[in-house]
Amino acid sequence: MAGRTKNAFNMGPPPAYKVDDEDTLAPRWYDVKRWGKKVWIAVATIIAIVIIIIVVGVVEGEKKNKYPDYTKLSYSLTDTISGTSFFDEFDYFSGYDPSAGLVHYVDSTVAKQYNLTYASSSTAIMRVDTSVTADTVPNASTGRFSVRITSKKQYSVGNLFVFDVVHTPIGCGTWPALWLSDPANWPTNGEIDLMENVNVVSSAANQMTLHTSSGCSMGVKRKETGKQLTTSCVNTTDGNAGCGVSGSATSFGSGFNSAGGGAMAMELRTEGIRIWQFARASIPSDITGGSPDPSSWGEATADFPNTDCNINNHFRNQSIIANIDLCGSWAGTASVYAESCKCTPLLPFEMERRLIVTVIGSGTCANQVANNATAFTDAYWEFGKFSVYSAS
């Protein structure tokens, strides 16, 4: 008789229905048997809603806490760009500026002629021309000579880059950048901006930004010392501002330069993209020693984890690019330029410049580029060595 309960044997006749005082009163809320259909539906609905809220909460909470495992990778040196052959590793871009700047990017011959790129055994300098004025032939009325170089070699996920930067460009109207991209396949193959700012006249915060095609967001858990700006990396949002992070107040411009510059390190891996900026005095010894180990560097300056962005799909065939644009779609925007550059109008006796001033207006970015050559003497990049390590 296994399985039967004791009560089954002792079951007596069913109790008579007992009528008592309670039955004459309104049913109590906990008297489940008396609930009507409507009450049951309401209760079921409430339970369903509670379950949904809990499930959504758990999923959202997990998503919020999701973070990649940046476990240590071993790197070995694959490329060094340095010394007198520094610029041999790059192509000189000499077409129209894709960013609508007032700049004529010159080829390597003209760059050499105007000494816009210059490499010694220890440094490589890339500058904006300061010899052309409004009165020379050629003049700078439709743009000033500058340089944009793109590395011949391209890199994909699984590389660590270390850039020694001695001097960042300064000047009203400038828009310098040190970045990586595949310009022929933008934004499909992504863009990683390591150093960028506009109209820097003293110390400023460096900006580090990704630009991608659709499906890449940084509105996720991140571990970084920099300040998060906009979170969508997609080119069609926020006017193509990208997902930026800004560094410390002395990470670009005079503060950075006067401390001897520093090192920018960027790890491009499946788990994410991390960028560290080190001032010269605090470059880790494993970097100077030539065996960089990002797992020993602490929190990154900018962290772009793969949580909501497939790094392998969005970042491919990246060339190293350095340029100094002038004015253009960021630096030259009237409000942006006016905010950072307080240039005085030309004096009345500067008659020979009157035409340009009338046409393009004084106190504008265009006027600065065309007429104020000496304002660009500090508009130069100075680089030490660039090293690329690949993960084994």
Ligand X SMILES: *[C@@H]1O[C@H](CO)[C@@H](O)[C@H](O)[C@H]1NC(C)=O
Q: Tell me how far, at minimum, the Cβ of 313 lies from ligand X, in Å.
A: 9
Q: Is 355 an interacting residue with respect to ligand X (CB under 6 A)?
A: yes
Q: Interface with ligand X includes 236 (CB under 6 A)?
A: yes
Q: Which residue has the tokens 């109209």?
A: 199
Classified as helix, coil or strand, 1 is coil
Out of 172, 177, 205, 218, which residue is the one contacting ligand X (CB under 6 A)? 172
Judged by CB under 6 A, the stretch of 9-17, 133-141, 217-225, 324-332 that binds ligand X is: 133-141
- 364/271 Cα distance (integer angstroms): 44
Among residues 94 and 139, whose Cβ is nearest to ligand X?
139
Decide if residue 240 touches ligand X (CB under 6 A).
yes
**Of the ranges 27-35, 64-72, 96-104, 367-375, which one interacts with ligand X (CB under 6 A)?**
367-375
Confirm or reject binding of residue 119 to ligand X (CB under 6 A). no
Q: Where are the beta strands (DSSP E) in 101-158?
A: 103-105, 117-119, 124-127, 144-146, 148-155
Number of residues interacting with ligand X: please give it, by CB under 6 A: 26
Between CA 204 and CA 239 the distance in angstroms is 22
> 């040190």: which residue's tokens?
178
H or E stretch including 135? Answer: none
Q: Which helix (H) or strand (E) holds 366?
A: helix 365-371
- Residue 174 lies near ligand X (rule: CB under 6 A): no
Closest CA to 151 of 388, 391, 392: 388
Which residues are tagged catalytic? Answer: 191, 196
Chain CA centroid to CA 347, Å: 41
Binding residues among 56-115 for ligand X as defined by CB under 6 A: 115
CB of 391 to ligand X, least distance (A): 18
346 touches ligand X (CB under 6 A): yes
Q: Which is nearer to ligand X, 66 or 112 (CB)?
A: 112
Q: Which two tokens stand for residue 324?
A: 């100094």
DSSP 8-state assignment for residue 361: -
Nearer residue to ligand X within complex by CB, 124 or 287: 124
- Taking the least distance from each CB to ligand X, the nearer of 226 and 244 is 244
In the shown chain, the binding pattern of residues 176 to 215 toward ligand X, with x for contact by CB under 6 A and - for none, equals ---------x-xxx-----------------------x--
94's enclosing H/E stretch is: none
Q: Which two tokens stand for residue 335?
A: 């409000």
> Binding ligand X by CB under 6 A: which of 5, 71, 335, 344?
344
The CA–CA distances, whole Å, from 372 to 132, 364, 368 equal 9, 11, 5
Q: How many residues does the chain have?
A: 392
| Residues in contact with 124: Cβ distance below 8 Å, sequence separation at least 6, in sequence order | 82, 86, 87, 117, 118, 382, 383, 384
Q: What angle do CA 340, 343, 347 make, to 5 degrees?
A: 175
* Binder of ligand X out of 111, 324, 327, 375 (CB under 6 A): 375
Stretch that binds ligand X, among 75-83, 222-230, 261-269, 343-351 (CB under 6 A): 343-351
225 binds ligand X, rule: CB under 6 A: no
User: In terms of DSSP bridges, do strands 124-127 and 90-92 run parallel, antiparallel, or are they unpaired?
Assistant: unpaired
Q: Which of 180, 327, 356, 365 binds ligand X (CB under 6 A)?
A: 356
Handedness of CA 92, 195, 237, 57 (dihedral sign): positive
- 5 lies in the site for ligand X, by CB under 6 A: no
| Strand-pair partners of 111 | none
Q: Please, what is the minimum distance in Å from the beta carbon of residue 386 to ligand X?
A: 18
User: Residue 343 interacts with ligand X (CB under 6 A)?
Assistant: yes
Looking at 67, 70, 118, 278, which residue binds ligand X (CB under 6 A)? 118
For residue 236, the minimal CB distance to ligand X (Å) is 5
Give the residues lining the site for ligand X (CB under 6 A).
115, 118, 125, 134, 138-139, 141, 172, 185, 187-189, 213, 235-236, 240, 316-317, 343-344, 346, 355-356, 368, 372, 375
